[in-house]
A and B are shown apart, each in its own frame.
Chain A
Amino acid sequence: MNPEQLLRIRADLEDGIRRLIGRAVMVIELDLFALPCSCSGYTANLRGFQVDDIEVFEEHILKLLESTAEAVGSPSNFVFARIIPGTQEIASVNVRNLCPRCYSDFASTSGKRPRPDIYILRLNKRKK
Protein backbone atom coordinates (compact mmCIF):
# COMPACT_ATOMS: atom_id res chain seq x y z
CA MET A 1 0.00 0.00 0.00
CA ASN A 2 1.58 3.26 -1.11
CA PRO A 3 0.24 6.80 -0.55
CA GLU A 4 -1.12 7.09 -4.11
CA GLN A 5 -3.09 3.87 -3.67
CA LEU A 6 -4.50 5.06 -0.36
CA LEU A 7 -5.52 8.40 -1.89
CA ARG A 8 -7.22 6.55 -4.73
CA ILE A 9 -9.09 4.30 -2.32
CA ARG A 10 -10.33 7.32 -0.34
CA ALA A 11 -11.52 9.05 -3.50
CA ASP A 12 -13.21 5.88 -4.79
CA LEU A 13 -15.07 5.37 -1.52
CA GLU A 14 -16.24 8.99 -1.55
CA ASP A 15 -17.32 8.70 -5.17
CA GLY A 16 -19.10 5.42 -4.47
CA ILE A 17 -21.14 6.89 -1.62
CA ARG A 18 -21.99 10.00 -3.67
CA ARG A 19 -23.26 7.87 -6.55
CA LEU A 20 -25.24 5.71 -4.19
CA ILE A 21 -27.05 8.40 -2.24
CA GLY A 22 -27.18 10.95 -5.06
CA ARG A 23 -25.75 13.73 -2.95
CA ALA A 24 -22.47 15.34 -2.14
CA VAL A 25 -20.65 13.73 0.74
CA MET A 26 -17.06 14.04 2.01
CA VAL A 27 -14.72 11.30 3.15
CA ILE A 28 -12.72 13.79 5.10
CA GLU A 29 -10.09 11.28 6.22
CA LEU A 30 -9.34 7.63 5.58
CA ASP A 31 -7.18 6.01 8.24
CA LEU A 32 -5.69 2.53 8.53
CA PHE A 33 -5.24 1.61 12.17
CA ALA A 34 -3.66 -0.98 14.43
CA LEU A 35 -4.47 -1.08 18.16
CA PRO A 36 -2.44 -2.51 21.04
CA CYS A 37 -5.19 -5.06 21.72
CA SER A 38 -4.54 -6.41 18.16
CA CYS A 39 -7.67 -5.02 16.52
CA SER A 40 -6.91 -3.53 13.10
CA GLY A 41 -8.81 -2.06 10.20
CA TYR A 42 -9.76 1.26 8.65
CA THR A 43 -11.87 4.26 9.56
CA ALA A 44 -13.43 6.64 7.05
CA ASN A 45 -14.43 9.92 8.67
CA LEU A 46 -17.44 11.33 6.88
CA ARG A 47 -19.27 14.63 6.58
CA GLY A 48 -22.72 15.00 5.07
CA PHE A 49 -23.67 11.38 5.67
CA GLN A 50 -26.62 10.47 7.90
CA VAL A 51 -28.29 7.55 9.63
CA ASP A 52 -31.15 7.65 7.11
CA ASP A 53 -28.66 7.02 4.31
CA ILE A 54 -27.36 3.89 6.01
CA GLU A 55 -30.83 2.62 6.82
CA VAL A 56 -32.00 3.03 3.23
CA PHE A 57 -28.83 1.88 1.46
CA GLU A 58 -27.41 -0.50 4.04
CA GLU A 59 -26.83 -3.43 1.74
CA HIS A 60 -25.07 -1.29 -0.86
CA ILE A 61 -23.03 0.69 1.67
CA LEU A 62 -21.87 -2.59 3.15
CA LYS A 63 -20.66 -3.77 -0.26
CA LEU A 64 -18.77 -0.53 -0.75
CA LEU A 65 -17.10 -0.82 2.65
CA GLU A 66 -16.19 -4.43 1.99
CA SER A 67 -14.63 -3.61 -1.35
CA THR A 68 -12.68 -0.79 0.33
CA ALA A 69 -11.54 -3.29 2.98
CA GLU A 70 -10.33 -5.58 0.23
CA ALA A 71 -8.49 -2.70 -1.43
CA VAL A 72 -6.66 -1.77 1.79
CA GLY A 73 -6.00 -5.43 2.57
CA SER A 74 -8.02 -5.59 5.76
CA PRO A 75 -10.38 -8.38 6.79
CA SER A 76 -13.90 -7.08 7.35
CA ASN A 77 -15.54 -9.20 9.99
CA PHE A 78 -16.98 -6.22 11.85
CA VAL A 79 -18.44 -3.27 9.95
CA PHE A 80 -20.09 -0.40 11.76
CA ALA A 81 -20.91 3.30 11.66
CA ARG A 82 -20.12 5.64 14.52
CA ILE A 83 -22.96 8.03 15.21
CA ILE A 84 -23.01 11.21 17.25
CA PRO A 85 -25.38 9.88 19.95
CA GLY A 86 -28.94 11.12 19.73
CA THR A 87 -28.54 12.57 16.24
CA GLN A 88 -28.69 11.68 12.56
CA GLU A 89 -25.01 12.54 12.11
CA ILE A 90 -22.61 9.77 11.15
CA ALA A 91 -19.08 10.65 12.21
CA SER A 92 -17.37 7.68 10.58
CA VAL A 93 -17.75 4.25 9.05
CA ASN A 94 -15.38 1.59 10.32
CA VAL A 95 -14.19 -1.81 9.24
CA ARG A 96 -12.46 -3.67 12.03
CA ASN A 97 -10.81 -7.01 12.37
CA LEU A 98 -11.62 -7.67 16.03
CA CYS A 99 -9.19 -9.10 18.53
CA PRO A 100 -10.56 -11.88 20.81
CA ARG A 101 -11.20 -9.50 23.70
CA CYS A 102 -13.05 -6.85 21.66
CA TYR A 103 -14.88 -9.60 19.79
CA SER A 104 -16.30 -10.92 23.03
CA ASP A 105 -17.43 -7.40 23.99
CA PHE A 106 -19.35 -6.93 20.76
CA ALA A 107 -20.48 -10.52 20.24
CA SER A 108 -22.25 -10.50 23.59
CA THR A 109 -24.52 -7.68 22.41
CA SER A 110 -27.56 -7.96 20.16
CA GLY A 111 -29.27 -5.73 17.63
CA LYS A 112 -27.90 -3.06 15.33
CA ARG A 113 -27.55 -0.40 18.03
CA PRO A 114 -25.75 -2.00 20.99
CA ARG A 115 -24.58 1.47 22.08
CA PRO A 116 -25.98 4.93 21.30
CA ASP A 117 -22.95 5.70 19.13
CA ILE A 118 -22.77 2.48 17.12
CA TYR A 119 -24.80 1.16 14.20
CA ILE A 120 -23.67 -2.32 13.20
CA LEU A 121 -23.83 -3.18 9.53
CA ARG A 122 -22.25 -6.58 9.98
CA LEU A 123 -20.66 -8.65 12.73
CA ASN A 124 -19.49 -12.09 11.74
CA LYS A 125 -20.18 -14.32 14.73
CA ARG A 126 -17.60 -17.03 15.28
CA LYS A 127 -18.57 -20.66 15.68
CA LYS A 128 -18.66 -21.77 19.32
Chain B
Amino acid sequence: MNKKLYVPHPGHFDGLQQMLDSSKDIYSIYMAGSPDYIGTGRVNLGHAGLEEVARHTEYCHSKNVKIEMVLNSSCMGGQQLTTEGYNLIHWYISNLEDIGVDTVVVADPYLIEMIASEFNIPVVVSVLAFVDSPQKAEFFEQLGASSIVIDSNVNRHFDVLEAIRDAVDCELKLLVNEGCLYRCPFRYAHFNFFSHVNGPPPRPNVQDDYYYHKCLTLRINDPSLILKSPFIRPEDLKEYAHITDVFKIGGRSHFINWILNCVNAYAAESYDGNLMDLMDCPKDLVDLFNIPNKALDGAIEQWKKHSTVCHTCGYCERKISEIAQMYDHMGTTDEKLVQWNTITKKGIET
Protein backbone atom coordinates (compact mmCIF):
# COMPACT_ATOMS: atom_id res chain seq x y z
CA MET B 1 0.00 0.00 0.00
CA ASN B 2 1.30 3.48 -0.85
CA LYS B 3 1.35 5.55 2.30
CA LYS B 4 2.78 8.63 3.97
CA LEU B 5 4.57 7.99 7.25
CA TYR B 6 4.97 10.83 9.77
CA VAL B 7 7.90 10.00 12.00
CA PRO B 8 9.11 11.53 15.29
CA HIS B 9 12.29 13.60 15.40
CA PRO B 10 14.96 11.87 17.51
CA GLY B 11 15.79 15.12 19.34
CA HIS B 12 19.14 16.21 17.86
CA PHE B 13 20.57 17.02 14.45
CA ASP B 14 23.00 14.08 14.27
CA GLY B 15 20.10 11.75 15.01
CA LEU B 16 18.01 13.35 12.28
CA GLN B 17 20.83 12.83 9.78
CA GLN B 18 21.21 9.21 10.82
CA MET B 19 17.48 8.59 10.49
CA LEU B 20 17.12 10.13 7.07
CA ASP B 21 20.26 8.34 5.85
CA SER B 22 18.88 5.03 7.11
CA SER B 23 15.34 5.12 5.76
CA LYS B 24 13.72 6.17 2.51
CA ASP B 25 10.23 5.50 3.88
CA ILE B 26 9.84 8.74 5.86
CA TYR B 27 7.40 11.22 4.33
CA SER B 28 7.61 13.80 7.10
CA ILE B 29 9.48 14.35 10.34
CA TYR B 30 7.57 15.96 13.17
CA MET B 31 9.12 17.80 16.10
CA ALA B 32 8.28 20.10 18.98
CA GLY B 33 9.75 23.56 19.20
CA SER B 34 10.86 25.49 22.23
CA PRO B 35 8.58 24.99 25.26
CA ASP B 36 8.94 28.70 26.02
CA TYR B 37 6.28 29.66 23.46
CA ILE B 38 3.44 27.19 22.98
CA GLY B 39 4.63 23.90 24.35
CA THR B 40 3.49 20.43 23.48
CA GLY B 41 1.44 17.62 24.93
CA ARG B 42 4.20 15.04 25.15
CA VAL B 43 7.74 14.51 26.35
CA ASN B 44 10.50 15.37 23.85
CA LEU B 45 14.21 14.64 23.80
CA GLY B 46 15.10 18.00 22.29
CA HIS B 47 13.91 21.59 22.66
CA ALA B 48 14.82 23.24 19.40
CA GLY B 49 15.12 27.01 19.22
CA LEU B 50 14.22 28.80 16.01
CA GLU B 51 17.75 28.60 14.58
CA GLU B 52 17.78 24.87 15.12
CA VAL B 53 14.31 24.49 13.63
CA ALA B 54 15.58 26.34 10.56
CA ARG B 55 18.62 24.05 10.30
CA HIS B 56 16.49 20.90 10.65
CA THR B 57 13.92 22.18 8.15
CA GLU B 58 16.59 22.93 5.57
CA TYR B 59 18.12 19.51 6.04
CA CYS B 60 14.77 17.67 5.78
CA HIS B 61 13.88 19.58 2.63
CA SER B 62 17.26 18.75 1.10
CA LYS B 63 16.27 15.10 1.55
CA ASN B 64 12.79 15.67 0.11
CA VAL B 65 11.26 15.06 3.53
CA LYS B 66 8.67 17.42 5.00
CA ILE B 67 8.79 18.86 8.48
CA GLU B 68 5.88 19.35 10.85
CA MET B 69 5.99 21.44 14.04
CA VAL B 70 3.95 20.00 16.90
CA LEU B 71 2.65 22.76 19.17
CA ASN B 72 -0.15 20.74 20.66
CA SER B 73 -0.52 21.78 24.28
CA SER B 74 -3.90 20.63 25.50
CA CYS B 75 -3.84 23.35 28.19
CA MET B 76 -2.17 26.75 27.98
CA GLY B 77 -3.75 28.16 31.10
CA GLY B 78 -5.66 30.76 29.10
CA GLN B 79 -2.45 32.62 28.16
CA GLN B 80 -3.23 32.17 24.47
CA LEU B 81 -6.24 34.47 24.90
CA THR B 82 -4.30 37.35 26.47
CA THR B 83 -2.84 40.15 24.38
CA GLU B 84 0.67 39.15 25.37
CA GLY B 85 -0.07 35.52 24.58
CA TYR B 86 -1.50 36.36 21.18
CA ASN B 87 1.49 38.55 20.33
CA LEU B 88 3.98 35.87 21.40
CA ILE B 89 2.22 33.08 19.51
CA HIS B 90 1.81 35.27 16.44
CA TRP B 91 5.52 36.15 16.51
CA TYR B 92 6.48 32.49 16.90
CA ILE B 93 4.25 31.22 14.10
CA SER B 94 5.49 34.05 11.84
CA ASN B 95 9.02 32.81 12.40
CA LEU B 96 8.03 29.23 11.61
CA GLU B 97 6.35 30.43 8.45
CA ASP B 98 9.49 32.32 7.42
CA ILE B 99 11.61 29.25 8.12
CA GLY B 100 9.40 27.25 5.77
CA VAL B 101 8.08 24.47 7.97
CA ASP B 102 5.47 22.50 6.06
CA THR B 103 2.72 22.05 8.65
CA VAL B 104 1.88 23.07 12.20
CA VAL B 105 -0.05 20.83 14.60
CA VAL B 106 -2.15 22.43 17.34
CA ALA B 107 -4.85 21.19 19.69
CA ASP B 108 -6.61 24.40 20.73
CA PRO B 109 -9.50 25.41 18.43
CA TYR B 110 -8.57 29.08 18.89
CA LEU B 111 -5.08 28.46 17.54
CA ILE B 112 -6.46 26.45 14.63
CA GLU B 113 -8.67 29.35 13.56
CA MET B 114 -5.99 31.96 14.23
CA ILE B 115 -3.25 30.15 12.29
CA ALA B 116 -5.60 29.24 9.43
CA SER B 117 -6.76 32.87 9.17
CA GLU B 118 -3.48 34.71 9.56
CA PHE B 119 -0.79 32.47 8.08
CA ASN B 120 -0.06 30.42 5.02
CA ILE B 121 1.01 27.30 6.90
CA PRO B 122 -1.39 24.35 6.65
CA VAL B 123 -2.76 23.71 10.13
CA VAL B 124 -3.24 20.20 11.47
CA VAL B 125 -5.65 19.28 14.26
CA SER B 126 -3.77 17.34 16.92
CA VAL B 127 -4.87 13.98 18.26
CA LEU B 128 -5.16 15.93 21.52
CA ALA B 129 -8.19 17.78 20.15
CA PHE B 130 -9.92 14.38 20.47
CA VAL B 131 -11.77 14.36 17.16
CA ASP B 132 -13.88 11.24 17.49
CA SER B 133 -16.99 12.05 15.46
CA PRO B 134 -17.95 13.42 12.04
CA GLN B 135 -19.51 16.44 13.76
CA LYS B 136 -16.24 17.42 15.44
CA ALA B 137 -14.32 16.79 12.25
CA GLU B 138 -16.67 19.11 10.33
CA PHE B 139 -16.24 21.77 13.01
CA PHE B 140 -12.46 21.72 12.77
CA GLU B 141 -12.52 21.65 8.99
CA GLN B 142 -14.74 24.74 9.03
CA LEU B 143 -12.22 26.44 11.35
CA GLY B 144 -9.64 25.98 8.63
CA ALA B 145 -7.89 22.69 9.37
CA SER B 146 -6.13 21.11 6.43
CA SER B 147 -5.63 17.81 8.22
CA ILE B 148 -7.03 16.05 11.28
CA VAL B 149 -5.30 13.45 13.43
CA ILE B 150 -8.26 11.39 14.55
CA ASP B 151 -8.64 10.52 18.23
CA SER B 152 -6.97 7.14 18.49
CA ASN B 153 -9.80 5.90 20.72
CA VAL B 154 -11.83 5.32 17.56
CA ASN B 155 -9.05 3.61 15.60
CA ARG B 156 -11.05 0.38 15.65
CA HIS B 157 -14.49 1.97 15.23
CA PHE B 158 -14.70 1.64 11.47
CA ASP B 159 -18.25 3.03 11.36
CA VAL B 160 -17.02 6.27 12.98
CA LEU B 161 -13.90 6.44 10.80
CA GLU B 162 -16.00 5.96 7.66
CA ALA B 163 -18.47 8.63 8.81
CA ILE B 164 -15.62 11.10 9.42
CA ARG B 165 -14.19 10.27 6.00
CA ASP B 166 -17.61 10.99 4.44
CA ALA B 167 -18.11 14.20 6.40
CA VAL B 168 -14.91 16.07 5.56
CA ASP B 169 -12.66 16.63 2.56
CA CYS B 170 -9.47 17.40 4.47
CA GLU B 171 -6.65 14.96 5.03
CA LEU B 172 -7.08 12.44 7.85
CA LYS B 173 -4.21 10.96 9.82
CA LEU B 174 -4.19 7.94 12.09
CA LEU B 175 -1.79 7.59 15.01
CA VAL B 176 -0.83 3.93 14.86
CA ASN B 177 1.18 3.05 17.94
CA GLU B 178 0.27 5.36 20.79
CA GLY B 179 -0.55 2.37 22.98
CA CYS B 180 -2.68 4.29 25.48
CA LEU B 181 -5.52 2.65 27.38
CA TYR B 182 -8.77 2.44 25.44
CA ARG B 183 -10.97 5.32 26.65
CA CYS B 184 -8.18 6.15 29.10
CA PRO B 185 -9.61 7.81 32.21
CA PHE B 186 -6.34 9.72 32.72
CA ARG B 187 -6.14 11.07 29.19
CA TYR B 188 -7.24 14.67 29.71
CA ALA B 189 -5.52 15.13 33.07
CA HIS B 190 -2.31 13.50 31.86
CA PHE B 191 -2.00 15.54 28.68
CA ASN B 192 -2.81 18.74 30.56
CA PHE B 193 -0.05 17.84 33.01
CA PHE B 194 2.39 17.17 30.15
CA SER B 195 1.38 20.42 28.48
CA HIS B 196 2.43 22.41 31.53
CA VAL B 197 5.62 20.40 32.07
CA ASN B 198 6.55 20.87 28.39
CA GLY B 199 5.20 24.39 28.01
CA PRO B 200 6.03 27.94 29.11
CA PRO B 201 6.91 28.54 32.77
CA PRO B 202 5.95 28.13 35.54
CA ARG B 203 6.51 24.38 35.14
CA PRO B 204 5.42 21.98 37.87
CA ASN B 205 8.26 20.12 39.53
CA VAL B 206 6.75 16.76 40.41
CA GLN B 207 8.50 13.70 41.75
CA ASP B 208 6.15 11.07 40.36
CA ASP B 209 3.83 10.99 37.38
CA TYR B 210 0.74 9.51 39.06
CA TYR B 211 -1.06 8.91 35.76
CA TYR B 212 1.82 6.93 34.31
CA HIS B 213 2.23 4.85 37.48
CA LYS B 214 -1.46 4.02 37.48
CA CYS B 215 -1.43 3.22 33.77
CA LEU B 216 1.40 0.73 34.31
CA THR B 217 -0.18 -0.82 37.39
CA LEU B 218 -3.45 -1.41 35.54
CA ARG B 219 -1.70 -3.18 32.68
CA ILE B 220 0.70 -5.17 34.83
CA ASN B 221 -2.35 -6.50 36.66
CA ASP B 222 -4.40 -7.00 33.50
CA PRO B 223 -2.40 -7.23 30.26
CA SER B 224 -5.60 -7.66 28.24
CA LEU B 225 -5.73 -3.86 28.49
CA ILE B 226 -2.72 -3.84 26.17
CA LEU B 227 -4.71 -5.61 23.45
CA LYS B 228 -7.72 -3.37 24.03
CA SER B 229 -5.51 -0.35 23.44
CA PRO B 230 -6.44 1.01 20.00
CA PHE B 231 -3.08 0.57 18.27
CA ILE B 232 -3.00 -0.39 14.60
CA ARG B 233 -0.71 -3.31 13.76
CA PRO B 234 1.58 -2.88 10.74
CA GLU B 235 -0.20 -5.79 9.07
CA ASP B 236 -3.57 -4.03 9.46
CA LEU B 237 -2.74 -0.74 7.71
CA LYS B 238 -4.41 -2.00 4.53
CA GLU B 239 -7.72 -2.27 6.40
CA TYR B 240 -7.64 1.54 6.64
CA ALA B 241 -6.85 2.24 2.97
CA HIS B 242 -10.40 3.53 2.33
CA ILE B 243 -10.04 5.99 5.25
CA THR B 244 -6.55 7.39 4.66
CA ASP B 245 -3.04 6.73 3.48
CA VAL B 246 -1.44 8.97 6.13
CA PHE B 247 -0.14 7.35 9.28
CA LYS B 248 1.68 8.86 12.22
CA ILE B 249 4.17 6.90 14.29
CA GLY B 250 4.38 8.05 17.92
CA GLY B 251 7.66 8.02 19.85
CA ARG B 252 9.22 11.41 20.49
CA SER B 253 11.04 10.17 23.60
CA HIS B 254 12.62 7.13 21.95
CA PHE B 255 16.06 6.46 20.51
CA ILE B 256 16.86 6.36 16.79
CA ASN B 257 16.99 2.56 16.53
CA TRP B 258 13.59 2.26 18.14
CA ILE B 259 12.09 4.80 15.74
CA LEU B 260 13.69 3.14 12.72
CA ASN B 261 12.44 -0.26 13.83
CA CYS B 262 8.90 1.16 13.85
CA VAL B 263 9.36 2.88 10.50
CA ASN B 264 10.60 -0.37 8.94
CA ALA B 265 7.71 -2.35 10.44
CA TYR B 266 5.01 0.05 9.27
CA ALA B 267 6.66 0.56 5.88
CA ALA B 268 6.81 -3.20 5.34
CA GLU B 269 3.37 -3.69 6.93
CA SER B 270 4.78 -6.60 8.86
CA TYR B 271 6.58 -7.15 12.15
CA ASP B 272 7.84 -10.47 13.45
CA GLY B 273 8.63 -9.64 17.06
CA ASN B 274 7.23 -8.43 20.35
CA LEU B 275 4.25 -6.11 19.89
CA MET B 276 5.60 -4.10 22.82
CA ASP B 277 8.64 -3.14 20.68
CA LEU B 278 6.32 -0.97 18.60
CA MET B 279 4.28 0.71 21.33
CA ASP B 280 5.25 4.31 22.06
CA CYS B 281 3.75 4.07 25.50
CA PRO B 282 4.14 2.58 28.05
CA LYS B 283 7.65 1.71 26.98
CA ASP B 284 8.66 0.17 30.31
CA LEU B 285 6.44 -2.86 29.71
CA VAL B 286 8.72 -4.13 26.96
CA ASP B 287 10.82 -5.47 29.85
CA LEU B 288 7.86 -7.35 31.30
CA PHE B 289 5.71 -8.72 28.50
CA ASN B 290 6.42 -10.55 25.27
CA ILE B 291 3.32 -10.47 23.07
CA PRO B 292 4.22 -12.00 19.70
CA ASN B 293 2.81 -9.62 17.11
CA LYS B 294 2.26 -12.37 14.56
CA ALA B 295 0.00 -14.20 17.01
CA LEU B 296 -2.44 -11.32 16.47
CA ASP B 297 -2.90 -12.00 12.76
CA GLY B 298 -6.64 -11.89 12.10
CA ALA B 299 -7.50 -10.18 15.40
CA ILE B 300 -8.60 -7.11 13.44
CA GLU B 301 -11.69 -9.02 12.28
CA GLN B 302 -12.77 -9.45 15.89
CA TRP B 303 -11.89 -5.85 16.77
CA LYS B 304 -13.98 -4.63 13.83
CA LYS B 305 -16.99 -6.48 15.20
CA HIS B 306 -16.55 -5.75 18.92
CA SER B 307 -14.58 -2.59 19.45
CA THR B 308 -16.59 -1.00 22.22
CA VAL B 309 -18.32 -3.40 24.60
CA CYS B 310 -15.48 -5.36 26.14
CA HIS B 311 -17.42 -6.94 29.00
CA THR B 312 -19.71 -8.86 26.65
CA CYS B 313 -16.96 -9.87 24.24
CA GLY B 314 -14.02 -11.27 26.20
CA TYR B 315 -11.86 -11.79 23.11
CA CYS B 316 -8.87 -9.80 24.36
CA GLU B 317 -8.90 -11.59 27.75
CA ARG B 318 -8.90 -14.98 26.04
CA LYS B 319 -6.29 -13.98 23.50
CA ILE B 320 -3.87 -12.50 26.01
CA SER B 321 -4.08 -15.64 28.15
CA GLU B 322 -3.11 -17.67 25.09
CA ILE B 323 -0.23 -15.56 23.82
CA ALA B 324 1.25 -13.28 26.48
CA GLN B 325 4.51 -14.25 28.08
CA MET B 326 6.33 -12.60 30.93
CA TYR B 327 10.07 -12.24 31.48
CA ASP B 328 11.42 -14.05 34.50
CA HIS B 329 14.86 -13.18 35.93
CA MET B 330 15.42 -10.74 33.09
CA GLY B 331 18.99 -9.55 32.74
CA THR B 332 20.51 -12.66 34.30
CA THR B 333 21.80 -15.95 32.88
CA ASP B 334 18.54 -17.55 34.04
CA GLU B 335 16.35 -15.24 31.97
CA LYS B 336 13.35 -17.02 30.51
CA LEU B 337 9.84 -16.38 29.31
CA VAL B 338 6.88 -17.83 31.18
CA GLN B 339 3.18 -17.67 30.38
CA TRP B 340 2.04 -14.60 32.25
CA ASN B 341 -0.97 -16.33 33.77
CA THR B 342 1.23 -18.88 35.56
CA ILE B 343 1.94 -16.24 38.22
CA THR B 344 -0.95 -17.02 40.50
CA LYS B 345 -1.34 -17.19 44.22
CA LYS B 346 0.20 -20.39 45.54
CA GLY B 347 0.50 -19.37 49.16
CA ILE B 348 3.16 -17.37 50.89
CA GLU B 349 6.69 -18.68 50.53
CA THR B 350 8.57 -17.89 53.70
- In the assembled complex, the CB of B279 is this many whole angstroms from the nearest CB of chain A, namely 15
Q: Is A73 an interface residue (CB 8 A)?
A: no
- In the assembled complex, the CB of A46 is this many whole angstroms from the nearest CB of chain B, namely 9
Taking a contact as CB atoms under 8 Å apart, the answer to whether B210 and A11 are in contact is no
Interface membership of chain B positions 329-350, coded 1 if the CB is closer than 8 angstroms to chain A and 0 otherwise? 1111011000010011110111
CA distance A28 to B216 in the complex (A): 11
Q: Is A111 an interface residue (CB 8 A)?
A: no
Q: Is B288 an interface residue (CB 8 A)?
A: yes
Given A26-B220, A48-B221, A20 contacting B213 (CB threshold 8 A):
no
CA distance A102 to B350 in the complex (A): 32
Taking a contact as CB atoms under 8 Å apart, the answer to whether A19 and B217 are in contact is no
- In the assembled complex, the CB of A95 is this many whole angstroms from the nearest CB of chain B, namely 19
CA distance A7 to B329 in the complex (A): 9
- In the assembled complex, the CB of A8 is this many whole angstroms from the nearest CB of chain B, namely 5
How many chain A residues sit at the interface, stated as a range, is 20 to 34
Taking a contact as CB atoms under 8 Å apart, the answer to whether A48 and B348 are in contact is no
Taking a contact as CB atoms under 8 Å apart, the answer to whether B332 and A26 are in contact is no
Taking a contact as CB atoms under 8 Å apart, the answer to whether A24 and B220 are in contact is yes
Contact check: which of A11, A20, A22, A48 meets B217 at CB < 8 Å? A48
Q: Which of B217, B284, B334 has the most CB of A within 10 A?
A: B217
B-contacting residues, A23-55, CB 8 Å: 23-26, 28, 47-50
- Chain B residue contacts of A8, Cβ below 8 A: 329, 332
- Chain A residue contacts of B334, Cβ below 8 A: 11
Taking a contact as CB atoms under 8 Å apart, the answer to whether A63 and B350 are in contact is yes
Q: Is B287 an interface residue (CB 8 A)?
A: yes
- In the assembled complex, the CB of B77 is this many whole angstroms from the nearest CB of chain A, namely 23
Q: Nearest residue in B to A91 (C-beta to C-beta)?
A: B208
Q: Is B326 an interface residue (CB 8 A)?
A: yes
- Chain A residue contacts of B213, Cβ below 8 A: 47, 84, 87, 89, 91
- In the assembled complex, the CB of B107 is this many whole angstroms from the nearest CB of chain A, namely 27
Q: Is A10 an interface residue (CB 8 A)?
A: yes
Q: Is B328 an interface residue (CB 8 A)?
A: yes
- Chain A residue contacts of B348, Cβ below 8 A: 20, 57, 60
CA distance A10 to B329 in the complex (A): 8
What are 11 A-B interface contacts by the 8 Å CB criterion? A4-B332, A10-B331, A19-B349, A20-B348, A21-B345, A22-B343, A26-B284, A26-B287, A28-B287, A91-B208, A91-B213
